[in-house]
Amino acid sequence: MSAHAYKKKNPIWDWLTTVDHKKIGILYLASGAFFFLIGGLEAILLRVQLLYPEFNFVGAETFNQLLTMHGTTMIFLAAMPLIFGFMNAIIPLQIGARDVAFPFLNSLGFWLFSAGGILLNLGWFMGGAADAGWTGYAPLSTTSPGNGVDFYVLGLQVSGIGTLIGGINFLVTIINMRAPGMTFMRMPLFTWSSFITSGLILFAFPALTIGLALLMFDRLFGTQFFAAEAGGNPIIYEHLFWIFGHPEVYILVLPAFGMFSEIIATFARKRLFGYSAMVFATALIGFLGFMVWVHHMFTVGLGPIANSIFAVATMLIAVPTGVKIFNWLFTMWGGKVSFPTANLFAVGFIPSFVLGGMTGVMLSVPPADYQYHDSYFVVAHFHYVIVGGVVFGLFAGMYYWWPKIFGTMLNEVLGKLHFWLFFIGFHLTFFPMHFLGLMGMPRRVYTYLSGQSLDEANFAATIGAFLMGLATIIMVWNIIQTAVKGKKAGNDPWDGRTLEWAISSPAPEYNFAQTPLVRGLDAWWLEKRASNKAMVPAEPLDDIHMPDASILPFLLSLGFFIASLAAIFANWTIAIGGLGVVALAMILRSVIDYHGYHIHKEDLPDEGGEDK
Amino acid sequence: MAHHEGTETLSEHDQSHLDIHHKIAHEKEFKQQIVSFAMMIFLTMIAFVAVASDAISDAFTVVFIMILAGIQLVFQLYMFMHLSHKGHQYPAWGIFFGVFVAATAVIALMGMIW
Amino acid sequence: MKPEAMNKLPANPERATLDGKNKFLGFWFFLGGETVLFASLFGVYLGLRNATNGGVTANELFELPLVFIATMLLLTSSLTSVFATMALKTNQFKRMIGWFVVTGLLGLAFLGLEIYEFTHYVHEYEHTIRSSAWGSAFYTLVGTHGAHVFVGISWITLLIIRNLKRGMDLYTAPKFYLFALYWHFIDVVWIFIFTVVYLMGKVG
Q: Where are the domains of chain C?
A: 13-44+63-203
Nearest by CB to B105, from C40, C188, C200: name it: C40
pLDDT given for residue A609 in this prediction: 41
Mean pLDDT over residues A25-30, rounded? 97
pLDDT given for residue B17 in this prediction: 60
Residue A2: pLDDT above 90?
no
Residue of B nearest to C71 (CA): B44
Q: pLDDT (tens digit, 9 = 90+) per residue, C31-54?
A: 999 999 999 999 999 999 999 988
Mean pLDDT over residues A434-449, rounded? 96
Candidates 1.10.3470.10, 1.20.210.10, 1.20.1250.20, 2.40.50.140; correct CATH number of A2-550+594-610? Answer: 1.20.210.10
User: What sections of A289-411 are H helices per DSSP?
Assistant: 304-332, 341-363, 366-372, 376-385, 392-406
d(CA A59, CA A311): 38
B 31-70 residues inside an 8 A Cβ radius of C: 33, 37, 40-41, 44, 47-48, 51-52, 58, 61-62, 65-66, 68-69
Nearest by CB to A223, from C22, C40, C130: name it: C130
Chain C residues whose beta carbon lies within 8 Å of the beta carbon of residue A224: 51, 53, 130, 132-133, 135-136
Please tell me if residue C132 touches chain A, with a CB cutoff of 8 Å: yes
Mean pLDDT over residues A259-265, rounded? 98
Q: pLDDT (tens digit, 9 = 90+) per residue, C96-128?
A: 999 999 999 999 999 999 999 999 999 999 899
pLDDT given for residue C177 in this prediction: 95
Would you call the peptide bond into C13 cis, given omega within 30 degrees of 0 as the criterion? no
Higher pLDDT among residues C55 and C68, named by residue: C68
Residue A535 has what DSSP assignment? Answer: P
For residues A335-367, b (16+ Cβ closer than 10 Å) or e, as one string? beeeebbbbbbbbbbbebbebbbebbeebbbbe
Average pLDDT, chain B: 81
pLDDT confidence bin for A26, thresholds 50/70/90: very high
Chains in contact with C, counting 3 or more C-beta pairs less than 8 Å apart as contact: A, B
Best mutation target among A210, A212, A579, A591 (most C Cβ atoms within 10 Å) is A210
Mean pLDDT over residues C7-34, rounded? 90
Residue A243: pLDDT above 90?
yes
Chain B residues whose beta carbon lies within 8 Å of the beta carbon of residue C13: none
Count of B–C CB contacts within 8 Å? 144
Residue A284: pLDDT above 80?
yes
Of A593, A509, A599, A594, which is closest to residue A545 (Cα–Cα)? A599
CB contact under 8 A, C53 and A231: yes
Residue B5: pLDDT above 60?
no
- Spell out the SS3 assignment of A213-240: HHHHHHHHHCCCCCCHHHCCCHHHHHHH
Best mutation target among C86, C181, C195 (most B Cβ atoms within 10 Å) is C195
Helix (H) or strand (E) holding A487: strand A487-488
Mean pLDDT over residues A17-41, rounded? 97
C 34-63 residues inside an 8 A Cβ radius of B: 34-36, 38-40, 42-44, 46-47
Of C111, C148, C116, C193, which is closest to residue C30 (Cα–Cα)? C148
Mean pLDDT over residues B19-36, rounded? 79
Residue of C nearest to A547 (CA): C19
d(CA A17, CA A23): 10
Q: What are phi and psi of A442, to 5 degrees?
A: -75, 145
Residue of A nearest to B94 (CA): A199
For A101, the 3-state DSSP assignment is coil
Q: pLDDT (tens digit, 9 = 90+) per residue, A170-194?
A: 999 999 999 999 999 999 999 999 9
Best mutation target among B3, B97, B99 (most A Cβ atoms within 10 Å) is B3
Residue B105: pLDDT above 60?
yes
Count of A–B CB contacts within 8 Å? 52
Q: pLDDT (tens digit, 9 = 90+) per residue, C143-199?
A: 999 999 999 999 999 999 999 988 888 889 999 999 999 999 999 999 999 999 999
The gap from C-alpha A497 to its chain's centroid, in whole angstroms, comes to 24
For residues C155-182, b (16+ Cβ closer than 10 Å) or e, as one string? bbebbbebbeeeebbbebbbbbbbbbbb
Mean pLDDT over residues B47-53, rounded? 89
Chain B residues whose beta carbon lies within 8 Å of the beta carbon of residue A313: none
d(CA A134, CA A153): 11
Residue A611: pLDDT above 70?
no
d(CA A599, CA C139): 52
pLDDT given for residue C25 in this prediction: 96
Mean pLDDT over residues B85-107, rounded? 93
Among residues of chain A, what percentage have pLDDT more than 90? 93
CB contact under 8 A, C86 and B33: yes
Residue A123: count other Cβ atoms within 10 Å of its Cβ.
24
Q: pLDDT (tens digit, 9 = 90+) per residue, A401-422?
A: 999 999 999 999 999 999 999 9
CB contact under 8 A, C48 and A225: yes
Residue B11: pLDDT above 60?
no
Q: pLDDT (tens digit, 9 = 90+) per residue, A471-489?
A: 999 999 999 999 999 899 9
Written as one string, the DSSP assignment of A385-444 is: HIIIIIIHHHHHHHHHHHHHHHSEEPPHHHHHHHHHHHHHHHHHHHHHHHHHHHTTPBTT
Best mutation target among B39, B77, B85, B95 (most C Cβ atoms within 10 Å) is B95
Q: What are phi and psi of A599, to 5 degrees?
A: -95, 120
Please tell me if residue C33 touches chain A, with a CB cutoff of 8 Å: yes
Q: pLDDT (tens digit, 9 = 90+) per residue, A352-408?
A: 999 999 999 999 999 999 999 999 999 999 999 999 999 999 999 999 999 999 999
Mean pLDDT over residues A26-38, rounded? 97
Of A204, A123, A193, which is closest to residue A564 (Cα–Cα)? A123
For chain A, give every domain's residue range. 2-550+594-610
Residue of B nearest to A298 (CA): B112
pLDDT confidence bin for A200, thresholds 50/70/90: very high
pLDDT confidence bin for A8, thresholds 50/70/90: low
Residue A610: pLDDT above 60?
no
Chain A residues whose beta carbon lies within 8 Å of the beta carbon of residue C158: 587, 590-591
Chain B residues whose beta carbon lies within 8 Å of the beta carbon of residue A178: 1-2
Residue of A nearest to B98 (CA): A203
Q: pLDDT (tens digit, 9 = 90+) per residue, A129-182?
A: 999 999 999 999 999 999 999 999 999 999 999 999 999 999 999 999 999 999
Helix (H) or strand (E) holding B27: helix B12-52
Chain C residues whose beta carbon lies within 8 Å of the beta carbon of residue A223: 129-130, 136, 140
pLDDT given for residue A603 in this prediction: 83
Q: pLDDT (tens digit, 9 = 90+) per residue, B53-86?
A: 877 788 889 999 999 999 999 989 988 898 888 8
Chains in contact with B, counting 3 or more C-beta pairs less than 8 Å apart as contact: A, C
For A129, the 3-state DSSP assignment is coil
Residue C5: pLDDT above 60?
no
CB contact under 8 A, C203 and B7: no
Residue A67: pLDDT above 50?
yes
Average pLDDT, chain C: 92
Residues C140, A223 contacting (CB under 8 angstroms): yes
Nearest by CB to C26, from A168, A205, A213: name it: A168
d(CA B111, CA C203): 19
pLDDT given for residue B56 in this prediction: 79
pLDDT confidence bin for A606, thresholds 50/70/90: low
C13-44+63-203 is classed in which CATH architecture? Up-down Bundle (1.20)
Residue of A nearest to C48 (CA): A232
A597 CA to chain C: closest CA distance, Å? 14
Please tell me if residue B25 touches chain C, with a CB cutoff of 8 Å: no
Of A438, A443, A442, A425, which is closest to residue A388 (Cα–Cα)? A425
